[in-house]
Amino acid sequence: MESTEKHQRSLSFTCGVLVLFLQLRLGLTGDCPADGRTWVPFGDGCYHFVHGAEDKIKSYTFDRAKTLCQGFELLTIQSAEENDFVFKYSPEVWKNNVNIWLGMYYDTNSDNMKWFGEKPVGFSNWEDSSSPSDLMPLDTCVALHTNTGKWENVSCLEQAENGVVCETDQKAEEVKQKPSALLSALVILSVVAIMGVSAVIWFLHQKRNLGTSIFTPFEYHPPFRVLDSDRSCLVEAEENDNVP
């Protein structure tokens, strides 16, 4: 009985994890902008890798890169996981190594680099180089190399890079207002499956404990018949009655 209960708990836990996984996966697909472009969800953000035409050389100035995002921000990287995601996903979009513009600028008020949106630079992944940059502060921008994942200072005005990634936050509130019909169906099917398997396990457990007694109401009972000893007694009584 104890092993049966453990099996039921294990089955329920597995189904619950499956439902949660499907919920998370399906929730991600509806969070990103539906503007006809391909947005890739990761973490709390959505990313659009600007592919460009196959037969044209990709070369974008910093200002041109910002306009390609059409109201969204250029890529900002807040963690090593996010940097690793961009580094590993880039080969899915571009065949060769690409330098991606980052949405970073030099802030004259703090004399430091900042992300667009006034976000401080908490995480960084600069190239290992001891040579100081010869760029003027106001002409200092940053590009990410897709072959290494490292960052490099580049000129905002004189340099053109061949990679653009746009970024925006996921819209979690809209997803809550639009529940997925497919998700609801999967949840219902999972609950039905758990109940069905649990019923089968309970039946088999009862059968094992009770043996064949569970079928006793259906046992065959032969019709009443007179035993041989009783028949001999009846014959002897009839003979005695016939004696004069």
Structure confidence at residue 6 (pLDDT): 53
User: What pLDDT is recorded for position 151?
Assistant: 95
pLDDT value for 89: 96
Tokens of 14: 């597995």
Position of tokens 């340099």? 159
Question: How high is the pLDDT of residue 203?
Answer: 75
Cβ-based burial of 171 (10 A; exposed 0-12, middle 13-18, buried ≥19): middle
Q: List, in order, residues 6 or more apart from 60 with CB less than 8 Å away.
A: 68, 101, 160, 161, 162, 163, 164
Domain ranges of the chain: 36-169
Helix (H) or strand (E) holding 8: helix 2-29
User: Per the confidence metrics, is the pTM higher than 0.85?
Assistant: no
The pair of structure tokens assigned to 206 is 């009862």
Using CA atoms, how far apart are residues 64 and 163, in angstroms rounded to an integer?
Answer: 11
Chunked into runs of 10 residues, the chain (244 residues) has average pLDDT values of 53 48 46 92 95 75 94 95 96 91 91 87 86 78 95 92 94 51 70 79 73 49 53 52 53
Half-sphere exposure of 210 (CA within 13 A, CB side): 11
Tell the burial category of 100 from Cβ atoms under 10 Å away from its Cβ (0-12, 13-18, 19+).
buried
φ/ψ (deg, to 5) at 101: -65, 135
Distance CA 215, CA 173 (A): 57
For domain 36-169, which architecture applies? Roll (3.10)
